[in-house]
Amino acid sequence: MSTIRVVRALALAALLAPAAAFAAGYGIYEQGAAALGMAGAYAASAHDATAQFYNPAALTRLEGKQLSLGGTWLTTRTSFAGVAPYPGFGVSEEMKSGNFFPPTFYWTNHFADKWAYGVGVNAPFGLGIEWQDPEAFTGRDRVTKANLQTIDGSFSLAWQRTPQMSVAVGANARFAKVELNNIATFTGSGGAPINVSSAKLESDFTPGFGWHAALLRDFATNWKLAVTYKSEVTVKVDAGRAAFTQILTGSPALDAVVLAGLPPSQAVKTELVFPAQSVIGLAWNPMPNWTYEIDGVWTGWSAFQKLPLDFATTNSLDTELIEDYSDQWAIRVGAEHRLTNYTYRLGYYYDSAAAPPESVTPLLPDANRHGATVGLGMQRGKWTIDAYNLFLFVEKRSTEGRERDGFDGVYKSYVNALGANLTYHW
């Protein structure tokens, strides 16, 4: 076995770093309980402080000041069944159950007759995976654990141009942090993979900046039209860290070769590109206490064609990862029924996969998703409490024998989201 061959095996962890960026494509649309009670179909009918996320043009239509605090409990389950030639039929593995708690904070106010502003802090993208029994997981040379965290701070300025139309513009700062672990293997004479090293790539929170714009218009009796746009955000990671650690095999000859080819710990640069997103929403109020809405949500995943990786010391590891994602549409529909003390909501959405079969990996087994939601709101004086539950059914996704690294099989996932917002009005 040559030293170069070992180095290439150890570099697999590095090659996955940009893929961790796409895990942000697992966008977290769960940013408001009232909105998610309607499956996120909320751009045209937004009526609380979470409009800062869903459509800031609606800020001019909110009364007084609003302070909203909320969050979501996301739980995930994913399993994998292998096929031939690798890892082979009969291989069945699972991720550890994931539990995530993205928070939200929104503040809105008016400062003139036709002007309003909003401030928000949330986590609109994220990823967290960890495969069970990482030292034996058949895809361990691709990934054993990955974590992507984002924190967004946003500001919006809204203007009521006419009683029927409002517009808004704003800016946001996104801070992203990524961690990725894997275990490199070498195939011995018996054919079984032998763990020879572990690798960890990580970064601190690094900023990127973007902008957004929105429109809300009453265009007919009881009808509202919304259009929003959020720009692409690029986070340039110039101070990432790559650490490689040898795992002793018990074979002095093999251990010596691994040690000779082990890259040193070093700095690494890459770019995490978060896609642009646009929403077109249409809301209908056939009666004063009923609202129906349908939204089309476009996400520009085609920004992920290839991404660079630049090592500070071992330049032979510099590369570009091909992902070849395509733009994606989601359709969201919802309804809201308002009573004297309570508000009931329900909704459904379909979210299509952006990844081609070649890019369906243990890091992000992207697939079409179907979400069913229910929600409840209660008004108590100046306080509003909203809650929802999302049942997210993910279609089985096969790599179709085309995964780029030859790790083929079928993934199954299920996600549940339970969230709430507490809002104070004055």
CATH number at residue 293: 2.40.160.60
> Burial level of 344, CB count in 10 A (0-12/13-18/19+)?
middle
Q: What is the percent of the chain with per-residue pLDDT over 70, rounded to a whole number?
A: 94
Q: How far is CA 221 from CA 16, 59, 287, in A?
A: 52, 21, 11
Query: Is the pLDDT reported for residue 11 higher than 50?
Result: no
Query: Is the pLDDT reported for residue 144 higher than 70?
Result: yes
What would you measure as the largest C-alpha separation in the chain, in angstroms? 81
Q: How far is CA 59 from CA 10, 106, 148, 386, 424, in A?
A: 51, 11, 31, 19, 15
What is the pLDDT at residue 246? 96
What is the pLDDT at residue 26? 58
Query: Is the pLDDT reported for residue 1 higher than 50?
Result: no
Of 310 and 398, the one with more pLDDT: 398
Average pLDDT over all residues of the chain: 89
- Cα distance between residue 388 and residue 36, in whole Å: 6
Query: Is the pLDDT reported for residue 3 higher than 50?
Result: no
For residue range 207-253, list pLDDT tens digits in order: 999 999 999 999 889 999 999 999 999 999 998 999 999 999 999 99
What is the pLDDT at residue 321? 72
For residue range 163-204, list pLDDT tens digits in order: 999 999 999 999 999 888 999 999 877 778 999 999 998 999
Which two tokens mark 404? 């780029």
What is the pLDDT at residue 408? 96
What is the pLDDT at residue 355? 87
Nearest Cα residue to 270 out of 231, 246, 304: 304
Query: Is the pLDDT reported for residue 132 higher than 60?
Result: yes
Which two tokens mark 57? 């043009």
| Domain tally, the chain | 1
For residue range 71-128, list pLDDT tens digits in order: 999 898 999 999 999 999 999 999 998 888 889 999 999 998 899 999 999 998 887 8
Question: 122 lies in which domain range?
Answer: 3-425
What is the pLDDT at residue 283? 98
> Burial level of 398, CB count in 10 A (0-12/13-18/19+)?
middle
pLDDT band at 16 (very low <50, low <70, confident <90, very high): very low
> What average pLDDT score do residues 264-285 get?
93
What pTM value is reported for the model?
0.89
Q: Where are the beta strands (DSSP E) in 289-408?
A: 290-299, 306-311, 319-322, 328-338, 342-351, 369-380, 383-398
For residue range 318-346, list pLDDT tens digits in order: 887 777 888 999 999 999 999 988 999 99
